[in-house]
């Protein structure tokens, strides 16, 4: 049996500041305990098998090929490998599964070839695939999937780790609406082109929200964090990232006792993130499920990407 390397990367939620982070604002993100697993083995050709989806072909191979190509150029690793992908992320959840996949791929290749790459190098390699998928991503997703934990992120400054004492509990509710991050990022950016001063004010508000949210999160003031998240949802709505389904999920979660809720990630579908009501985490999730809504509890912090060899 030939040698294989396996890597697992967690998915992520953006707690505050998405979209405006593309325009220089500060965002806060956390890794969550839903994972993508990638295995790689030597092979004469590039093959990507996705669990349940069979072999990938055509354009969906491109991000994989791009990560292998940049690693081959920088580190001399093989540009053709046999790749397997599996995950426990609900589909259409918008929880950064593409970033988690690219991070796990870079980590698995590093493991197979004995490179011992650190988090910044893995992120740099994963970004080649993220650019294929999303155009000009801010890089927040691969950074938090690789490092794990909670990060504060600003373009040009890169990530800084937010240390927590103990755990914090959130609820993720999945809208099951698929959407394109690229299309939503350009929709929100267009609003910036049309109303530059209004957009600048919203971007500044999002940065303020992220700083305040970080402080509340660190001190365990989850009521305060929730209020800021609901406010951030309104700002994202004003910028065109929400829709009726997400707005009603936010309202429902708040009416069920969550201290606050907002869309998370690009919006237009994907998921809503809420602060879990203390002591009512399980019953709230059961209530959501009875209403036909897929939801799970996300406890943070969780570890970042891990890799190992296997025969
Ligand atoms: O791909 P998503 O849904 O996780 O969104 C990424 C967050 C954005 O701020 C909307 C885009 C970016 O590149 O930061």
pLDDT in tens, 210-267: 999 999 999 999 999 999 999 999 999 999 999 999 999 999 999 999 999 999 999 9
- Count the neighbouring beta carbons within 10 Å of the beta carbon of residue 308: 12
Active-site residue, from 141, 208, 247, 287: 141
Helix (H, G, I), strand (E, B) or coil at 220: coil
Joined together, the tokens standing for residue 210 give 């992220």
**Ligand 1 atom nearest to CA at 185:** 10
pTM of the model: 0.95
Active site residue 208: no
**Burial letters for 271-291: b for 16+ Cβ neighbours within 10 Å, e otherwise?**
bbbbbbbeeebeebbeebeee
pLDDT of residue 264: 97
Torsion of CA 290, 232, 159, 142, to 10 degrees: 40
* CA-based radius of gyration for the chain: 19
pLDDT of residue 92: 65
pLDDT of residue 292: 96
pLDDT of residue 56: 83
Q: Which stretches in the chain have pLDDT values below 70?
A: 1, 53, 91-92
Strand-pair category, 261-264 with 294-300: unpaired
- Distance (Å) from CA 310 to ligand 1 centroid: 33
**% residues pLDDT > 90 (the chain):** 87
Nearest CA, atom 6, ligand 1: 265
- Distance (Å) from CA 206 to ligand 1 centroid: 14
pLDDT of residue 180: 87
Tell me the torsion sign for CA atoms 225, 226, 232, 236. positive
pLDDT of residue 234: 95
Q: Which residues line ligand 1 (CB under 6 A)?
A: 14, 18-19, 21-22, 94, 96, 137-138, 140-141, 181, 185, 265-266, 270
């Amino acid at each position: 049996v030939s040698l294989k390397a396996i890597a697992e990367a967690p998915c992520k939620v953006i707690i505050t500041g998405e979209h405006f982070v593309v325009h220089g604002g500060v965002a806060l993100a956390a890794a969550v305990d839903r994972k993508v697993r990638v295995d790689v083995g030597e092979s004469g050709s590039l093959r990507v098998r996705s669990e349940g989806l069979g072999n990938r072909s055509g354009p969906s191979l491109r991000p994989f090929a791009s990560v292998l190509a940049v690693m081959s150029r920088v580190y001399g690793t093989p540009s053709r490998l046999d790749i397997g992908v599996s995950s426990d992320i609900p589909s259409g959840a918008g929880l950064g599964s593409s970033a988690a996949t690219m991070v796990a791929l870079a980590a698995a290749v590093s493991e197979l070839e004995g490179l011992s790459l650190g988090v910044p190098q893995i992120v740099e390699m994963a970004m080649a695939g993220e650019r294929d998928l999303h155009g000009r991503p801010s890089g927040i997703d691969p950074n938090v999937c690789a490092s794990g934990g909670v990060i504060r992120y600003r373009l040009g400054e890169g990530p800084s780790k937010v240390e927590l004492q103990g755990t914090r509990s959130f609820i993720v509710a999945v809208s099951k609406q698929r959407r394109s991050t690229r299309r939503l990022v350009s929709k929100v950016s267009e609003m910036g082109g049309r109303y530059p001063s209004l957009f600048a004010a919203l971007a500044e508000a999002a940065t303020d929200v992220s700083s305040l949210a970080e402080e509340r999160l660190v001190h365990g003031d989850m009521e305060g964090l929730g209020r800021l998240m609901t406010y951030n949802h309104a700002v994202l709505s004003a910028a065109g990232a929400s829709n009726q389904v997400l707005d009603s999920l936010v309202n429902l979660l708040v009416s069920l006792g969550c201290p606050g809720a907002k869309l998370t990630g690009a919006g237009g579908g994907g998921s809503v993130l809420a602060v879990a009501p203390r002591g009512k985490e399980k019953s709230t999730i059961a209530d959501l499920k009875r209403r036909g809504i897929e939801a799970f509890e996300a406890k943070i912090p969780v570890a970042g990407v891990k890799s190992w060899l296997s025969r």
